[in-house]
Amino acid sequence: MLSPFEIKLLKSLEVGKEYTVELASEISGMKKDAVLKAIYLLEEKGLVKVKENVWKEFELTDEGVKYLTENLPEENVLEVLKEGEKSIKELEEKFGKDAVGIALGNLRKKGAIEIENGVVRLIKSVDFPEKNALAKIYSTRTAEIDEKMVNELKKRKLIREETLKEIKFTVISKPDVELGEKVADITPELLISGGWRDRDFLEYDVTIPSKEVFAAKVHPYERIIRECRKIFLEMGFTEIKGHYVQPAFWNFDALFQPQDHPARDMQDTFYLDRYVDLEGEIVEKVKLTHENGWKTGSKGWGGSWSLEKAKQLVLRTHTTAITIHYLALNPEPPVKAFCIDRVYRRESIDATHLPEFDQLEGVVLDRDVGFADLLGLLKEFFYKMGFEDVRFRPGYFPYTEPSVEPEVFVEGLGWVELGGAGIFRKEVTEPLGIKGKVLAWGLGIGRLAMLRLGMKDLRRLYLPDIGWLRSLPAVKR
């Protein structure tokens, strides 16, 4: 038995002639999807022979296109080393840390350099077949290139690979069939009139999968953020918000982070060429705490504290800048607050790092709370998020003591660290007039989402990959 669209396709085409799906669609007036469905059904019945041609094509990424006209990082480094040995620091100052890291790794693989005590020496000059490979791919897309080279270029994200498929088919024979009118739906009129008795109905194969329906749903990352928010709201916390741009004072100084701390370096922080006015009793107390400990019982960091550095604006590196400012405005216990928002750091983009990401920050201010309360609160949160095995490793942060790094156990990955937590030091709370102990924590929601969704690449959370989004369930299972 042939369906109407199988019959229509057969009647439109010639026996023994090869057709593409596009050509058959044009001749028959049928949609391409209908043609595809028909030819595979006809192939099962032995009336059509289908031939699939599958091949791979390569395309240069934006980074790959750049190197058609510019030197590869290793080419630049090699030229400089021809003048004499250089320290890694000198090379990084000239070309940038990321570029030098890539260059040295590739030059060492080629046996072109040796590195000793941070000094790079040129052993021999080498060629860069990568440039020729990029040019071939750019001009032909299907250039025959050594598989090892293809893998190297893909690893460096200079090319992307796409698998293409072309379908051609030939009509082997046509049975003696006529395209008669068949009823697809039983209507009330047919039933009432009794006309259904004399009609020919379209047969249905109930074993054929139905067409998928993709309903609208919340993005899985947004769903996890909402889940985190719901847990803390149910635990009696207040959600707070703040500006992306903060004075270095609230981002670093109020948290007793020394002004020469590596985290404040330009390589970790986005600084703006703008400054704000800072004055008042709190600023003076924070200054004295840094210099000599003020009245906290600490000796401080020593040296001279710069008001000018504290006044400079930065893109916040953590949402602790928001929670500490909130506590300074609400210093009387009890206070339970959390913040879920975007933060910014000068990170190289890879599978687990992004220059902007979401952080979940929380604080509890009270007089009779301690370290055990902090661990219990975090355990409860992780349990509610579906992680049964939770542990804490000792950690270090300039503004908390004691400090820990919470970890959860994930099958196949082992123990995975998800952030930091601790109790604010007196050097943080007393200059701001905060009364009581403060339990504090900061968690990376992106990494949490990766574990929940079974992902290995953080960047995928932000890709407009409709196929991946459709494959995920609309609700948590």
Please write the tens of the pLDDT for every residue from 57-89.
888 888 888 888 889 999 999 999 998 999 988
pLDDT over 70, % of the chain: 95
* pLDDT over 80 (residue 265): no
The arithmetic mean of pLDDT across residues 137-142, rounded, is 80
Length of the chain: 477
Asked if residue 278 lies in contact with residue 347, where contact means CB atoms within 8 angstroms, the answer is no
DSSP letters for 216-281: ----HHHHHHHHHHHHHHHTT-EE----SEEEHHHHTGGGT--TT-GGGSTTT--EEEEE----SH
Q: Which two tokens stand for residue 468?
A: 């991946």
Fold of 221-471: BirA Bifunctional Protein; domain 2 (3.30.930)
Asked if residue 441 lies in contact with residue 421, where contact means CB atoms within 8 angstroms, the answer is yes
Residues whose CB falls within 8 Å of the CB of residue 379, separated by 6 or more in sequence, listed in order: 390
Give the integer Cα–Cα distance in Å for 311 and 248: 6
> What are 422-465's pLDDT values in tens digits?
999 999 999 999 999 999 999 989 888 888 888 877 888 888 87
Strand, helix or coil at 174? coil
The arithmetic mean of pLDDT across residues 226-243, rounded, is 95
Domain spans of the chain, in order of start: 1-72+128-206, 221-471
Give the integer Cα–Cα distance in Å for 348 and 356: 11
Q: How much is the pLDDT for 274?
A: 93
- Reading phi first (left if > 0) and then psi (alpha if -120 to 50, else beta), residue 414 is in left
Asked if residue 470 lies in contact with residue 382, where contact means CB atoms within 8 angstroms, the answer is no
Name the average pLDDT for the chain. 88
Q: Which two tokens stand for residue 31?
A: 């949609």
Please tell me which residue, 380 or 268, carries the higher pLDDT value. 380
Whether the CA torsion 193, 198, 204, 206 is positive or negative: it is positive
Q: Which two tokens stand for residue 90?
A: 């000198």
pLDDT over 90, % of the chain: 43
Highest mean pLDDT among 133-142, 220-229, 407-416: 220-229
Strand, helix or coil at 54? strand
Provide the CA 324 distance to its chain's centre, in angstroms: 28
Backbone angles phi, psi at 183, to 5 degrees: -85, 125
Q: Which two tokens stand for residue 271?
A: 């600084």
